[in-house]
Amino acid sequence: MSDTEKKAIDPITLAVLAGRMEQIADEMDATLFRSAFNPIIAEAHDASHGLYHAQTGDTLVQGKSGLPIFVGVMAFAVKTVIEKAARDGDLADGDVYMFNDAHLGGTHLSDMRLVRPFFYDGELFCYLASVGHWHDVGGAVPGNYNPTATEVFQEAFVLPPVKVARAGVLQQDIVDIVLRNTRLPQSALGDFNGQMNALDLGVKRLDALLAEYGAQTIDAALTALGDRAETLLRAEVSALPDGRWEAVDYLDNDGISDKPLPIRVALEIKGDRLSIDFTGSAPTAAGPINISEGTAIACVYVAIKHIFPSLPANAGVMRPIDITIPKGSVLAAEFPSPTGGYTETILRMIDVIFSAASQAAPDRVVANAYGTINALSIAGHRADGRRWVMFSFYGGGHGGTPEGDGLNHGNAPISTATIPPAEILEAAYPVMFSQWALRPDSAGAGRHRGGMGAIYEIELLEESAEAFLFGERGRFPPKGVAGGANAALNRFSYEQDDGMHTPRLDSKIVGVKLKRGQRVRLETPGGGGYGPPSERDPQAVARDVRLGLVSAEKADADYGKAWRGAAA
Amino acid sequence: MNRSGHKGSMVGVDVGGTFTDIFVLDEATGKASVAKVPTTRPDQSGGFLNGIRSQVPDLADIVSVVHGTTAGTNALLERKGAKIGIITTQGFRDVLEMRRRDRPRTWGLRGNFEPVAPRDMRLEVPERTLADGTIHTQVDLDAVRKAGEALVAAGAKAVAVLFVNAYANAANEQAAVAALRELWPNEHVSCSSEILPEIREFERFSTTALNAYLQPEVAGYLDRLARALSEGGFAGEFMIVQSNGGVMSVDTACRLPVRTALSGPAAGVIAAGYIAQSAGFPNVITGDIGGTSFDVSLIADGQSMLSPQTSIDFGLVVRTPMIEIATIGAGGGSIAWVDKGGLLNIGPESAGSDPGPAAYGRGNDRPTVTDANIVLGRIDSERPIGGGLTRLDVEAARRAIATHVGEPLGLDVEKAAEAILTVANSRMAGAIRLVSIERGFDPKQFAYMPFGGGGALHACALIAEVGLARGIVPRYPGVTSAMGCVIADMRQDFIQTINAPTQSADEEALGRLMQAHVDEGMRLLAAAGVAFAGEEIVFELDMAYLGQTHTVAVPLPARIEAGKVAAPTRADIQTAFDAAYLRVYGRLLPGGVTRVLNLRSAVIGKRPKFDLSTLAPDADASMEAAKRGTRRVYFAGEWRETAIFERLKLPVGAAIPGPAILEQPDTTILIEPGVTGTVDRFGNVVLAAQKE
């Protein structure tokens, strides 16, 4: 896109084009969701699509239905491609770059990125990109959540940006290499085709839109949308008081050595500018709790958009924000540090941003959500020798809000993923859920208490299997804000011949052997409370007790005895 | 009116929030008539009967009354269903409350959810069935009885039995239901395998629980209507429109009220499809502009699209086949505003009908889409439609637009009003693209049919923006749903989860299931006591490649002779899958193993159709009679003297070049410059771009 001769665009055309371009990205999302083979994309919508700036890679437009954390992180993937294309000097219409390298494009190796330049009238106009979480990309642990990895090589195979299509011609060699490196080649091929189809569709729709409005108008609209997003955030920030607020929270451990990792933030508002500084956070870890700098920056965007939900999904939003990610920290890890558990770290970043921001604007910010993805996999072989892997993420409570109690059993703030039904899991794998329930006493007390976490108890129906868990919040509970109390800890336990056990690292464990009839039990945290518990309506406390969500003992401890006289 | 002979009138009734619409077809003369009367509250049967009597004084002359109702939808949205109890598998009492671990909105982490049965009304009993149908733990019937008694004591008016994996084996649920029937004080005892024998516990439990929640309410309402009708001398059949666009007997509706969730809108789409097809447009997209929303639906080749489930509200999931209606929050009452970044937005906040647009003068001073139409002269401020108001306050509308849109954007009032309409039209066009282009349909092959009161103001703009072939404004757009009641076929849907690889599917068992669905469907058709012009039976399998979770609907050709189903072979099934998959995705997966998830069957009783030309204008209609003078209307930056016509007095064949406005009691049709509106032989106004 040329930066010269920018024409001012009239506000009406702009409003129309904003919707038209967002619809293109939405439609790319829908194309992949429908045709994907793996449930992580098809059901959990762990994918995203958008349009990116031809020179800077900045996000221009992103779909509404994609995974929140990808809104922002994709720009880093496109920047990587732009740099490579500049080095190689061979960018052509019809090229598609493909890679999963987390240190170049953000997030973790499970996320396969496809980036395609879009040419109009022979000129590079912008980039289109598609990212989706593949079911398996090799490595030591099926599903790629390996808590004991100390290098990316133990997590998955690493594909740097390569052209999987050259000027419209598919490079079958590359596809063959990729498919030879996954336990589930059919699933991978299905997802790859779905992503290619989504990019094709994006090109077709953009061609039509540019033919209708002309490249100059679209270009002007994209520039204006970025400018307006910037103005919008400046206006929001200006309405908050100037000042500096800090917060710190901890990750349990990195899965290798048993020591907590601080995530520290200082948030500063000066007029219409916002600075967010993570200096003082833990150094790069041995285990897979690291994230790349790109992921860290994208995560700030997610937190900001939760605080100001009307902000659009484009890079203009980030212009008034100064972000400091310290070099050598767990938030700016270099190749080949493992990044498989990146979800846990970015959830903690969001928590500390909320905790700091709630001091600045207590009426706008919600308490911490349950704060761990709880990637639990159980794997084994059936009587006939077939391998099975049940891999899923589990839910917990949302934080209390200025308006009311937190949502029970929600999805993680970085995701919009839904959980597969127990019946689908039982039909596909030799397990029986003996409990799938809300977890009483798991939420933080407050004027508005947190939402409840959950209890999932799973019994093995086959001869033997192994269980793996990658979780967090086993030692540091989700925090309340504005005087609200903390929620309960995450608890994992597993049955052996001599009874129930908990893992040494609390929230992470590899290869626990299970026999037929033995159970694993996951009790997830609720959300933190909002506002002082003493301000909670005694009738609401009495109702929680009547419904069995809060025990009488915990109610007494958190709220005093006033509820005992109140009508539930 | 027909007082002699066996033929009588068929009556369609659609009860809305403000008006009750009546459509009467006299079968003897073929003549149709329509009426609009105020809806009575809280007992809607008053308006219902008044409306019918205004057209047919003696209810004995009526052979059937078909009702499109929003009673179920409203009870869900307003949470006014009955107090219900749930009896469920040990360890699973919270499924309804936990949902599928979703959240109300992606951004903001706000919002909460209350299930229709609170936690202390959800009781657990020992029992367990495994995924393959094996009974792992027999149901403890003493525990079931104890739970039932506790729920009765707590005031439950209905009870739903929700057991895990009951889709695979209903024995435990059925035993529990039998035990409960002995002690439950009324007939409202149901279980999930009876309402929806399909895998996925949350969706099945939710549908069953919502059904129980609606049973007492909807059964009571329909019972009051049935009684009032029979006391008035009505001795014909009383039927209810389902969300799938078919009708069911009132008995079925009382048993399965959850199937009425989209009853009213579905009837409208059915009528729209029939009108369009009669007028020569088998492909049509309907648009209904309400106060707060715009509802779009697509009919291809005369067939409405059905979606397998919908959320009535966050967490209130109903899984039964429904006419697919896409909704966006942009209606006549949607508020136009400029955000802090300077971008013009429409909605989602709405002034609704109360306080309504600024021009209503009821306390809202922010501009709405309707205000923009008023300011530009498209709505006659001296003769507002929809009743209630005698005139509209144009100055208030101008002030609202100037303050909230014109000044922030630096536009004069007219330009600002035009901007509001452009952005609103663009959002509505987006909804139309969503149901057409995004599903692989080419809009050029589709006509657009606005219905409801406000739709015809925006029709020309939407046709131009999306590239639709034509517009068709039905003669009575305000009573489309009532008309649909008279047109709709009778339809029974069935589903059963199979969950087996195609290669090892049990052909005989599948044949038996298909037969059972056909037998039950035919029994229900026969029990309704209605004459049919024919029957149609449709089978579909939900199928996918192993590992895929989204299924493809695979139409299954089946031979039925003398009511007996010949079961398809595995090869038949595979061939049908390949054809369906190719159609959707363009290529098959070589060597892919396929799986049959569900069998879906529909048994349809075709109702005799009536000739829409009976709605055509009378012979004495003429251009002269229709002319109402002119008024100034703003188009594309200038005020133009625009001809006004009385729509119902226009003769067949009248061709009106835009700019023009056609008015009738319940709608206003805007013909924009460059478009001609022609009255066809059914009395529809067909909008088409003028040839250059």
Across residues B85-99, what is the average pLDDT?
A: 98
B549: confidence class by pLDDT, cuts 50, 70, 90: low
* Residue B26 at interface with chain A, using a CB cutoff of 8 Å: no
**Residues of chain B contacting A401 with CB distance shorter than 8 Å:** 109-110
Distance from CA of A183 to the nearest CA of B (A): 13
Average pLDDT of chain B? 90
pLDDT at residue B406 is higher than 90 = yes
Question: How are beta strands A519-523 and A508-515 bridged, if at all?
Answer: unpaired
Which among A68, A235, A395 has CB closest to B101? A395
Residues of chain B neighbouring A461 (CB-CB closer than 8 A):
130
The owner of tokens 């399909």 is B198
pLDDT band at B7 (very low <50, low <70, confident <90, very high): low
Rounded to a whole number of angstroms, the distance from the CA of B269 to the nearest CA of chain A is 25
> Nearest CA to CA, how far is A202 from chain B (Å)?
12
Task: Find which of A206, A373, A408 to mutate to test the B interface (most B CBs within 10 Å of its CB).
Answer: A408
Q: What are phi and psi of A415, to 5 degrees?
A: -140, 160
CATH of domain B489-606: 3.30.1490
Which residue from B100, B109, B422 is facing A366, i.e. has the nearest CB? B109
Beta partners for residue B678, in sequence order: B655, B686
Question: To the nearest whole percent, how much of chain A has pLDDT over 90?
Answer: 76
Whether the pLDDT of residue B222 is over 60: the answer is yes
In this complex, which of A189, A232, A451 lies closest to B340 when CB atoms are compared?
A: A232
Write down the pLDDT at residue A135: 84
Mean pLDDT of A542-547: 97
Q: Is B661 helix (H, G, I), strand (E, B) or coil?
A: strand
Q: How far is B20 from chain A (nearest CA, A)?
A: 36
Q: A384: distance to nearest CA of chain B, Å?
A: 17
Residue A1: predicted pLDDT: 42
Give me the mean pLDDT over the A376-405 stretch.
92
Most confident residue range from A176-190, A430-444, B616-630? A430-444
Q: What is the pTM of this model?
A: 0.91
Q: Which of A34, A413, A434 is opposite residue B109, by nearest beta carbon? A: A413
**Which of A182, A146, A171, A194 has the alpha carbon at shortest distance from A30?**
A194
CB contact under 8 A, B430 and A20: yes
pLDDT of residue A187: 83
Residue pair A77/A53 in contact (Cβ under 8 Å)? The answer is no
Lowest mean pLDDT among A331-340, A355-364, B683-692: B683-692
Q: Quick one: average pLDDT of A166-178?
A: 97
Distance of alpha carbon B230 from the chain centroid = 28
Confidence class for position B692, pLDDT limits 50, 70, 90:
low
Size of interface A-B (CB pairs under 8 A): 195
* Nearest residue of B to residue A459, measured between CA atoms: B130
Averaged pLDDT for residues A165-178: 97
Q: In chain A, which residues have their Cβ closer than 8 Å to the Cβ of B296?
A: none
Residue A124 Cα, gap to closest chain B Cα (Å): 26
- C-alpha B690/C-alpha A401 separation (Å) is 56
Show Cβ contacts of residue A339 under 8 Å, excluding neighbours closer than 6 positions.
Answer: A102, A103, A107, A108, A109, A152, A155, A288, A290, A291, A292, A295, A333
Render pLDDT for B442-492 as a digit per residue (tens, 0 to 9).
888 999 999 877 889 999 999 999 999 999 999 988 888 999 999 899 888
The neighbour count for residue B310, using CB atoms within 10 Å, is 18
Q: Tell whether the model's pLDDT for residue A8 goes beyond 90.
A: no
Q: Label the pairing between strands B122-125 and B84-89.
A: parallel
B653 pairs with which residues across the strands?
Answer: none
Nearest to A443 by CA among A525, A553, A521, A558: A525
pLDDT of A216-235, one tens digit each? 999 999 999 999 999 999 99
DSSP A320: T
Every domain of chain B and the residues it spans:
9-75+220-260, 83-187, 278-330+425-486, 346-423, 489-606, 616-689
State whether A435 and B427 contact (CB < 8 Å). Answer: no
Beta bridge partners of A274: A269, A321
Look at residue A262 and tell me whether its pLDDT is greater than 70. Answer: yes
> H helices within B232-366, ranges in order?
250-255, 263-278
What are the chain A neighbours of B592 within 8 Å (beta carbons)? 186
Question: Nearest residue of A to residue B132 by CA position?
Answer: A427
Give B487-529 pLDDT, tens digit per residue. 899 888 899 999 889 999 999 999 999 999 999 999 988 887 7
Domain B278-330+425-486, CATH homologous superfamily name and number:
ATPase, nucleotide binding domain (3.30.420.40)
* Residues in chain A closer than 8 A to B341 (CB atoms): 228-232, 235, 312
CA distance A465 to A379: 6
B338: closest CA of chain A, how far (Å):
10
pLDDT at A4 over 50: no
pLDDT at B448: 96
Rounded to a whole number of angstroms, the distance from the CA of B547 to the nearest CA of chain A is: 6
For residue B2, name the pLDDT band (cuts at 50, 70, 90). Answer: very low
Of A36, A232, A403, which has the smallest distance from its Cβ to B341's Cβ?
A: A232
- Beta pairing, strands B534-545 & B552-555: antiparallel
A426–B130 CB contact, under 8 Å: yes
Mean pLDDT across B233-262: 91
pLDDT value at A446 more than 80: yes
Chain A positions in Cβ-Cβ contact with residue B589 (cut-off 8 Å)? 186, 189-190
> Given this chain, do its domains B9-75+220-260 and B489-606 carry the same CATH topology?
no
* Predicted local confidence at residue A396, as pLDDT: 98
Closest-CA residue of chain B to A527? B109
Hey, are the CB atoms on B549 and A424 less than 8 Å from each other?
yes
> Mind listing the pLDDT tens digit for each residue in A395-436?
999 999 999 999 999 999 998 888 989 999 999 899 999 999
Which chain B residue lies closest to A388 (C-alpha atoms)? B547
Q: Which CATH class is domain B9-75+220-260?
A: alpha beta
Q: Do B547 and A34 touch (CB under 8 A)?
A: no
Closest residue to B109, CB basis, from A230, A399, A437: A399
Q: Which of A10, A12, A382, A442 to mutate against chain B (most B CBs within 10 Å)?
A: A12
Count the Cβ atoms, other than its own, within 10 Å of residue B365.
Answer: 14
The Cα angle at residue A508 between residues A507 and A513, in degrees rounded to 5: 120
In this predicted structure, the answer to whether residue B1 has a pLDDT above a threshold of 50 is: no
Contact (Cβ atoms closer than 8 angstroms) between residue A416 and residue B105: no
The secondary structure of B178-217 as a DSSP string is HHHHHH-SSS-EEEHHHH---S-HHHHHHHHHHHHHHHHH
Q: Which residues contact B591 (CB under 8 A, 6 or more apart)?
A: none
- The arithmetic mean of pLDDT across residues B23-48, rounded, is 84
**Tokens coding B534:** 């024919």
pLDDT higher than 70, residue A5: no
Please provide the average confidence, as pLDDT, over all residues in chain A. 92
Please indicate if any CB of chain A lies within 8 Å of the CB of B340: yes
Please list, in sequence order, all residues whose beta carbon lies within 8 angstroms of the beta carbon of residue A176, skipping any fewer than 6 positions away: none
Report the SS3 class of residue B108.
Answer: coil
For range B612-625, the mean pLDDT: 88
| Residue A57 CB-density burial (10 A; 0-12 exposed, 13-18 middle, 19+ buried) | buried
Q: Please, are residues B364 and B647 in contact by the beta-carbon 8 Å criterion?
A: no
DSSP assigned state of B454 = S
pLDDT at B590 over 80: no
The three-point CA angle A392-A394-A398 to 5° equals 150
Range picked from A131-145, B46-60, B76-90, B533-547 for highest mean pLDDT:
B76-90
According to the model, what pLDDT value does residue A146 have? 83
User: In this predicted structure, what is the pLDDT of residue B582?
Assistant: 82
- Does the CB of B691 have a partner CB in chain A at under 8 Å? no
Question: Quick one: pLDDT band at residue B661, thresholds 50, 70, 90?
Answer: very high
B93, B103, B165 member nearest A437 (Cβ): B93
Chain B environment of A548 (Cβ under 8 Å): 119-120
